[in-house]
Amino acid sequence: MKEKKIIYPPGDAGIWIIIYIELITFGLFFLGFVYSRRIDVELFNSSQLALNQTSGFINTILLLSSSYFVVRAVHSIKTYEIKKASKIATHWLNAAIGFGGIFLIIKMSEFIEKYSEGINLSTNKFFMFYFLLTVFHFLHVLLGMIILFNIKEKTKIQGYNKNDLKGMQTGASYWHMVDLLWIILFPLIYIIR
């Protein structure tokens, strides 16, 4: 009898356990936000007006683009011979890190703006969730960038090839998870009223 081949997710198995745990954690935060809003809809809607939807939108474009650049880097390693692949992938990873950096700068300026307006964690329940969710996500982006930087350094010295790219796929999967979380965060915090 022919045995059915099991295809595992790309990257290290450990990263997928981390990803699933992170998704559950953030998922609970999202639902906490939604059900706290039910108690005081007016407060949540009026507080949301203080947020800048355009910066949320730009940040979404930046993260999606950064994720796409990482996909291109992985695809390059899979497609081309090692020297060419490493060169192309390094460029894509530089772009991904750059876009991630702009995301952090925009988010940081948003945090500073809110603090200078006297808005912080204890202002009200909406802003408690806003800061908890976005700062927690911010830290994930920061960690993701450190991972991408290390992957880029290894790529530069031709450390990955089409038969050995598990390390790169592991970091890429983490980066896409950060993107996936923002896909929910953006409409939840900035758009839906």
Partner 1 sequence: MIIFDKYTKAYIVLILLTIFAYSLGKFELINGSLFIVLIITTFLKGSIIIDYFMELKDVNFKYRLIPLIWLFIVLCGIVIGYYF
| Chain residues in the site for partner 1 (CB under 8 A) | 6-10, 16, 19-20, 23-24, 27, 30-31, 34-35, 37-38, 53-54, 56-57, 60-61, 64-65, 67-68, 70-72, 75, 169, 173, 176-177, 179-180, 183-184, 186-188, 190-193
Q: What value does the CA radius of gyration of the chain take, rounded to a whole number of Å?
A: 19
Asked if residue 171 lies in contact with residue 33, where contact means CB atoms within 8 angstroms, the answer is no
Nearer to partner 1 among residue 79 and residue 109 (C-beta): 79
Measure the CA–CA gap between 24 and 33, rounded to whole angstroms: 14
Smallest separation, CB 84 to partner 1 (Å): 17
Closest to 106 measured CA to CA, from 48, 52, 145, 172: 52
Smallest separation, CB 53 to partner 1 (Å): 5
Measure the CA–CA gap between 75 and 83, rounded to whole angstroms: 14
Nearer to partner 1 among residue 2 and residue 8 (C-beta): 8
Asked if residue 69 lies in contact with residue 96, where contact means CB atoms within 8 angstroms, the answer is yes
Residues 68-94 as b or e (16 or more Cβ within 10 Å = b): bbbebbbebbbebeeeebbebbbbbbb
Measure the CA–CA gap between 100 and 48, rounded to whole angstroms: 24
Smallest separation, CB 65 to partner 1 (Å): 8
Nearer to partner 1 among residue 31 and residue 120 (C-beta): 31
Smallest separation, CB 34 to partner 1 (Å): 3
Nearer to partner 1 among residue 54 and residue 116 (C-beta): 54
Smallest separation, CB 58 to partner 1 (Å): 9
Nearer to partner 1 among residue 24 and residue 143 (C-beta): 24
